[in-house]
Structure 1
């Protein structure tokens, strides 16, 4: 129920929840959502949110970048964050507001959205852990470079159009094991791009009211359409995603000592002996 006493409509309608249930956790899936026009997701509301957030939780820069740009080569845009958001239609920039769930109103919105999916997630990968929300604002023509993320993720398109090209998780040609290991040790999420990869991806165009489920570490890049884009990303971890990170980190420790690395199966949460070995090695500082 909202502040006016009305029962809030579902964030994810029945057919979206059914599509999500069929795809989770390993397949990308296009979904629908009901947050277009939400009062917390207008440009002015987001500019005000950005101005009250800690500096460490906001990132913004020029938007028209090559798919393989290095993090240290990304140029700034010369504007304040509030100016960037209020003038995003014309300033050629990109901004992300991180961990907006730390603001009470946005935290309630995240809880509402993920609460609708929690029973479906629980059945497959256990309880939702470490829930977070991010808001992406991009000028026309912006590109988010080829990268992967460590969380289960649903991106909801609020305004404008973007095309996300999603690649299968677990393809070692796209993400070699050694890159996964360095990623879990704190390495950058951007990946090496080769034009030959493009045909392996599935391009999904997102209009306002569309959403996409992106599996853990499924590589993807995003190309913005000809108008301003606003997207909300709702994410969580699971025992499966945590276990996968632990097993890659164990392999990194073993590889550094020139010891044989282990296979990571499709249900890493069941590889308890290796996960325990990693925790012991980490505790001992091995």
Structure 2
């Protein structure tokens, strides 16, 4: 496969990873696995737990309990994405051998720079987003290190500082890491802290772990590929958040885990012991 990230882009990634969001150029164009028909067939082949799709004409903030179904099948949603006013994501594409190979090829170009900073590249996963014109992905965060590559159409990712409780309160982090939803509560006053990343085909953006963001698609249908991975650091941060939820329920006011390069070892270990005693880990 043609090299997707040029040498200067890999150097830029190395300078900024893992905490500084930045734009990257990429050379992933017109791949046969990433056409609308190929993606429709992929969506139809994946288990139900690996697909999510709904109306795309949504506000920035959405109640996780609201009904946002679009009334179509995943295949029809993707095939008619230009008119159905919807948003779809195909999760864990690495379940399919051809897509796993594509994902590992892409991450393989960055792996030496990743592992030099955060250790072993763990849990490589891929997510493909297919969106109608003007579709909105509501305000949320994700636990992975993430690069979002724009393939077709355009979108704007509006991103906020990771780890800042103004944009995602500690209690929300703790709830997410103990089984809660990833969607965040939006308030218009948060907009002053935003950085907008404009994405067109051939452009990507790096998203640090748990950096809040929302996305708005441009005037044409959009296809994006998210390549993600975890690290020992990201798992320790997540487990420390979960342990803090126990402390908070006990009436304490725990300090938030440190961002990279803090290791958060003690709280992470304590949570893993509790989980093991409960038989859930």
Contact 1:139–1:227 (Cα < 8 Å) also in 2? yes
Q: TM-score, normalised by structure 2?
A: 0.95
The residue number in structure 1 matching 2:227 is: 234
Count the aligned residue pairs: 279
Give SS of 1:270's match. coil
Q: State the partner residue of 1:4.
A: none
Which residue, 102, 105, 120 being the options, matches 2:113? 120
Equivalent residues of 2:123, 2:230 under 8 A apart: yes
Deviations 1:51-82 (Å, cap 9, x if unpaired)?
11112211111100011111221322222211
Partner of 2:29: 36
Any idea what the Cα deviations from partners look like across 1:224-270, whole Å, max 9, x if unmatched? Answer: 00000000000010011000011111111111122452442234763
The aligned residue for residue 152 of structure 2 is 159
- 2:269 counterpart (257, 276, 279): 276
| SS of residue paired to 2:110 | helix
Tell which deviates more after alignment, 101-110 or 253-262: 253-262
Q: TM-score, normalised by structure 1?
A: 0.94
Contact 1:157 1:207 in 2 (8 A): yes
* Contact 1:145-1:221 within 8 A present in 2 as well: yes
CA distance in 2, matches of 1:276, 1:73: 36
Superposed CA offset, 1:113-166 (max 9, x none): 001111001011001111100000000010001110000000000000000011
Give 1:27's aligned residue. 20
**Contact 1:66 / 1:145 at 8 angstroms: preserved in 2?**
yes
Structure 2 CA distance for aligned equivalents of residues 48 and 270 of structure 1? 42
Cα distance in 1, alignment partners of residues 140 and 20 from structure 2: 17
Secondary structure of the corresponding residue to residue 112 of structure 1:
helix
Q: Distance in 2 between matches of 1:82 and 1:112?
A: 27
* Cross-structure match for 1:222: 215
Aligned-pair Cα RMSD in Å: 1.5
For residues 273 and 141 of structure 1, the distance between their equivalents in structure 2, rounded to whole angstroms, comes to 45
Unaligned ranges ≥5, structure 2: none
Structure 1: runs of 5+ lacking an equivalent: 1-7
Q: Is the 8 A contact 1:239 1:269 kept in 2?
A: no
